[in-house]
Copies of this chain bind each other. A is one copy, B any other.
């Protein structure tokens, strides 16, 4: 006799709907439930029928994007490029700006699941959100480690940090400071910091790192100005700075010039990200360009493969380039 979904449900002690949700990786499911259903399917040697599966599947053709904000050249370009690619593949985008607020990210995650998205691409920078552990939903992360089952698309942050530091050393700077985000974030961007430290030490120079601890975008702007001024106060002899993102680098240039430093004569600056809008608005900023469009393309392709073929995906690290402006 052919094994039916009802048999699986009965043996697993769950509803038919729960079995179909496990089969189609929809909604919130505990690991225990998933295991029970899989065990029952194994025991009964249940082969889900492709047509029945399609019937249950309820594709929504919606993909959720959870990123800190689109009010930023890097994330704006990333989201715009993904949206365009998803649209061309027949998907609509549900947008969630988490504002680097873990509570908001958690809410988004729950609510996007209740809208039954077919998959998620996440680039929000919060650690410790348990919901990611308990979902069977296809997810791809950009530049962020969510958990070991979720593939990460990132640019070569180590190479970027090395290139930035070498640019400053080669230009003759002696007191080179690096600014970076909170160290406890599980982000591949931490490799920029490591590369800076390694490259400084290899050149017999002392690494000086300033870490900004405020990540809540809504409240970060004024704190950032104070943070930057503090660096100049504590290290008035600074003559090189590797700033972890271009928005911060623009603020550093502005504050440095107000304090009387000439860029690049007295102070050389390298930023990070190199988004399109930034290169139009501030072409003079020397920066490390992340391949934003390629990251977006690969993340979307991988997500679609995960959705349609249940493929696991794999981490990808893409090369960076130097944008040669006039600040080094």
Residue numbers of A with Cβ under 8 A of B are: 62, 65, 69-73, 76-77, 79-81, 83-84, 87, 92-97, 99, 104, 108, 111-112, 115, 246-247, 250-251, 254, 276-278, 280-283
Contacts and interface: CB of A to CB of B under 8 A. Distances in A.
At the interface, is chain A mostly helix, strand, loop or mixed? Answer: helix
A79 B83 CA distance: 14
A80 B94 contact: no
Contact of A83 (B97, B112, B277, B283): B97
A72 B83 contact: no
A256 to B, nearest CB: 13
Contacts of A79: 70-71, 95
B76 A72 contact: yes
State how many copies of this chain the complex holds. 2
A291 to B, nearest CB: 15
B247 A280 contact: yes
B276 A115 contact: no
Given A62-B115, A84-B97, A94-B94, A73 B254 contact: no
Contacts of A95: 65, 79, 83, 93-95
21 contacts: A62-B115, A65-B95, A69-B80, A70-B80, A71-B80, A71-B276, A72-B277, A73-B76, A73-B281, A84-B97, A87-B97, A87-B104, A92-B111, A92-B115, A94-B95, A95-B95, A246-B281, A247-B280, A250-B280, A251-B280, A277-B281
